[in-house]
Amino acid sequence: MKQFFLHLAAYWKLVLLPALVKLGFWGAGAIAILDSSSIPVPIDAFLALAIWNDKTHFWAYVLLAAAGSAIGGLLPYALGRAGGELFLLKRINRERLEAMRDRFERQEFLAVMIPSMLPPPAPWKVFIFASGVFEMRIVDFLLAVFAGRAIRWFVLALLVLKLGPGAADVVAHHALAAIIVVGVLAVAGFLGWWLRLKRKRAENGTLP
């Protein structure tokens, strides 16, 4: 079994990943799907280099990667929705689980969007898995992941255009500063929109 995974990792690194890289921004979407669903990829570094080499299409890399990440996130979301509370409790304690549940009940959109903005080592998949456990609406889930990832990678793209492909290292080594900057921008930009959306749903009687 160990040899199988070693061969699989070698195939991914030497064959599949280079093939996807050649697809340009379409490849970025495919790599983001794999990264979010199953195979971890240093996607920030990939996007930084790809954007630097194709500056005019930086927006396409950002949007397709964000869309791919949202689609790929449907796998851990579905696993959580299928009954993953016990699985989640193996990784976090009951107190933290209840705190996460309260957070989702208060503002589920931001509870997914904000972790989606954060660079590694933020435990993104824990929140994605939890969104399935707490039965977040699929459309809201996709929008939240897409919004968070798009903000994160637009910030990365702007840094790359200004500083070069080494911007990925800047984000990695100054994650706290990046979190603060991106978080302030995100909350300011999306909180009002999401509250208006919930108010509209309430008026139309579509909220549970």
What residues does each domain of the chain span? 2-204
Average pLDDT, the chain: 77
List, as one string, the DSSP characters of 12-59. IIIIIHHHHHTTTHHHHHHHHHHHHHTS---HHHHHHHHHHHSGGGHH
For residue 92, count other CB atoms closer than 10 A to its CB.
14
Q: Are 155 and 108 in contact (CB under 8 A)?
A: no
Q: Is 106 helix (H, G, I), strand (E, B) or coil?
A: helix
Mind listing the pLDDT tens digit for each residue in 16-42? 666 666 778 888 898 899 889 877 888
Q: Are 155 and 119 in contact (CB under 8 A)?
A: no
What is the predicted pLDDT for the residue at 6? 46
What is the predicted pLDDT for the residue at 4? 44
**Eight-state DSSP code of residue 119:** P
From the number of C-beta atoms within 10 Å of its C-beta (0-12, 13-18, 19+), residue 10 rates as exposed
For residue 84, give the nearest of 124, 50, 126 by alpha carbon.
Answer: 126
Q: Using pLDDT thresholds of 50, 70 and 90, give the confidence band for residue 207.
A: very low
- Helix 43-53, helix 138-163: angle, nearest 10: 50
* Distant-in-sequence, close-in-space partners of 106: CB < 8 Å, separation ≥ 6: none
Mind listing the pLDDT tens digit for each residue in 73-117? 999 999 888 877 777 777 777 787 777 777 777 788 888 988 898
List, as one string, the DSSP characters of 180-194. HHHHHHHHHHHHHHH
Euclidean distance between the first and the last CA atom of the chain, given in angstroms as a whole number: 46
By residue count, the chain amounts to 208
